Amino acid sequence: MWQGRRVVLGVTGGIAAYKCVLLARELTRQGAEVDVVLSRGAAEFVGPVTFEAVTRRPVRSSLWERDGALDHVALGQRADLVVVAPATAHLMARAAAGLADDLLTSMLLASTAPVLLAPAMNDEMFANPATQANLATLLSRGWRVVGPGVGALAEGPSDRAGRMAEPDEILAHAARAVRVPGPLAGRRVIVTAGPTREPIDPVRVLTNRSSGKMGYRLAAGAWQRGAVVTLISGPSSEREPTGVALTRVDTTAQMAAAVRERIAGGDVLIMAAAPADYRPASPRDAKLPRSEGGFALELVPTDDILLATARDRPPDLTAVGFALETGNAIEKGRAKLHRKQLDMIVVNDALDPGAGFDVDTNAVTILDRHGAVTPVSLRSKAAVAEAILDAIEQFRA
Ligand code: CTP
C-alpha cells in the first residue's frame, strides 16, 4: 500500500516526537519515501540524525538551508500525504492562522496533499477553547485528525485527552487518508472473526483453532477503504483494529444474534469466523469433578449463522462466506456458496502449507456466484484481505 508513496512527516516539539521515529521507520519499511521536516522545538527532543538513519533521506528543519531554497514548495507539492506528529498547540494555531514562519508551516501552506494531524499536548492546552477553535478550523478545511487519546502525559497521569495516538493508529489513519475512495467508501461492512466457544461447564469450553487473524485484517482493510466497519469477534488475542466498532461474543448463538441485529443496515457481510458447529446439549451449572471419571458428552448442532440470517439480508447486501476444506476445496466451496445463498466464497484448503488456522499467511481461491474464480497465492493475511476486498469491490462495481 505504501510502495512508492511520498509522505512528508512534520515533527513538532513534544515528548511524543520519539514515537514518530517508529512511525517514520514503519512507513519506510512498507515502501514509502519519507521526508522528515523538524520544527525548531522537535530538534530539541529527537535529533535529525535519528530520522535520517531510519528514512535514509535528508532531514530538513529550516527555510534557510543551502540548496533548499524551494523546499517549502517542492516538498509539500510532490507529497501524497503530509502527517504532522506530534502536532503541538502552537503548530495548530499557526496552521489555522495560515502563518508561514518556518519550513513546516510554509510547506503546509504550499501543499495540496491531504494532511493528517496527531495532536499531543497537555490536557488543559487541548481543552482550551483557543485550541479547540483552531482544531475546528483545520477540520473544516478537510484536514484529518487522529487522537489525542486519554492516558499518561509527560507531566503525569491524566483522564482527559492530550496524549498522542500510538504510531500504529496514526499509520492506519494515514493509510485511510491516501486511499482513493472506491466502491466500499461509506458502505457498512459487517465482519465476523475468530472461533466461538460453547460451555461444557462454568470453566470448560468446546472451541476450535481459529485465531481471528483473517477477519481482523479484513475489518482493518475495509476501514482503510473508507467503510463503516463493525467487527463481531469471538475470543481472539488480536488487537482491536483502529476505527472499527468491535463487538465481542462468546457462543455461536451470541454471534448469530449480533449478526442479526446489524444485518438490516449492512451493505457487505463477511463471515470470516469459524463458529463452533456443535455445542454440549446440556452444559452443567457446576464444575464437573474429575473424580466422577470419564463421561460421554452429548453434542447438538448450533445454528448455521449464514443460513439463519439469510432471510434478514437486505436484497443488495453482498454476502461473503469462507470455506475451510481438506481436499477437493473448490468443488466443496462451490456447493457451500449455493447452499448458504452467498454472493462470494473464499475457499481455503487446510492441507495447503502456509494456509488456514493460526498462521500469518494464507492462500485462497475466491469464487463468486457468477462463476468467477480468483486464485490468491500464498501471502500475508493482510495481503489476502486486500485481494478479497478488491474482489468484493469488483463484484459490487
Ligand atoms: N458458518 C456459519 N454458521 C456456523 C458455521 C459456519 O455461518 N454455525 C459460516 C462460516 O463463517 C463460513 C461458512 O459458514 O463463512 C462456512 O463455514 P464451514 O465451517 O466451512 O461450513 P459448515 O457449514 O460448517 O460446513 P461443513 O462443516 O459441512 O463443512
| Domain annotation covers residue 80 | yes
Distance between CA atoms of 243 and 283, rounded to whole angstroms?
37
Residues 42-89: tens digit of each pLDDT: 888 888 999 999 999 999 887 667 666 566 678 888 999 999 999 999
Residues 78-130: tens digit of each pLDDT: 999 999 999 999 999 999 999 999 999 999 999 999 999 999 999 999 999 99
User: Is residue 167 left, alpha or beta, with left meaning phi > 0 and alpha meaning psi from -120 to 50?
Assistant: alpha
Phi, psi of 119 (to 5 degrees): -65, 150
Q: How far is the CA of 340 from the centre of ligand 1 (A)?
A: 9
| Domain annotation covers residue 48 | yes
Looking at residue 201, what is its pLDDT?
95
CATH number of the domain bearing residue 236: 3.40.50.10300
Q: Which atom of ligand 1 is nearest to the CA of 323?
A: 20
Residues 245 and 336 in one domain: yes
The pLDDT-based confidence of 360 (bands split at 50, 70, 90) is: confident
Residues 142-201: tens digit of each pLDDT: 999 999 999 887 778 888 889 999 999 999 999 999 998 899 999 999 999 999 999 999
Residue 208 is among the residues annotated as catalytic for this protein: yes
The pLDDT-based confidence of 292 (bands split at 50, 70, 90) is: confident
One of 122, 128, 208, 348 is an active-site residue; which one? 208
Residues 166 and 209 in one domain: no
Residues 12 and 143 in one domain: yes
Of 145, 178, 211, which closes a domain?
178
First to last CA, the chain: 21
Residues 350 and 267 in one domain: yes
Looking at residue 172, what is its pLDDT?
95
Q: How far is the CA of 276 from the centre of ligand 1 (A)?
A: 9
| Domain annotation covers residue 183 | no
Q: How far is the CA of 236 from the centre of ligand 1 (A)?
A: 18
Tell me which residue has cell 457481510.
269
The pLDDT-based confidence of 14 (bands split at 50, 70, 90) is: confident
> Is the CB of residue 306 below 6 angstroms from any atom belonging to ligand 1?
yes
Residues 264 and 350 in one domain: yes
| Domain annotation covers residue 1 | no
Looking at residue 359, what is its pLDDT?
78
For 29, the enclosing helix (H) or strand (E) is helix 19-29
Percent of the chain whose predicted confidence (pLDDT) is above 70: 97
Radius of gyration of the chain (CA): 25
Looking at residue 64, what is its pLDDT?
65
Grouping H, G, I as helix, E, B as strand and the rest as coil, residue 68 is coil
Grouping H, G, I as helix, E, B as strand and the rest as coil, residue 270 is strand
Q: Give the number of domains in the chain.
A: 2
| Domain annotation covers residue 374 | yes
> Is the CB of residue 193 below 6 angstroms from any atom belonging to ligand 1?
no
Q: Which atom of ligand 1 is nearest to the CA of 345?
A: 15
The whole domain housing 64 covers 6-178
Question: Which among 232, 313, 322 is the best mutation to test ligand 1's pocket, defined by most ligand atoms within 8 Å of the CB?
Answer: 322
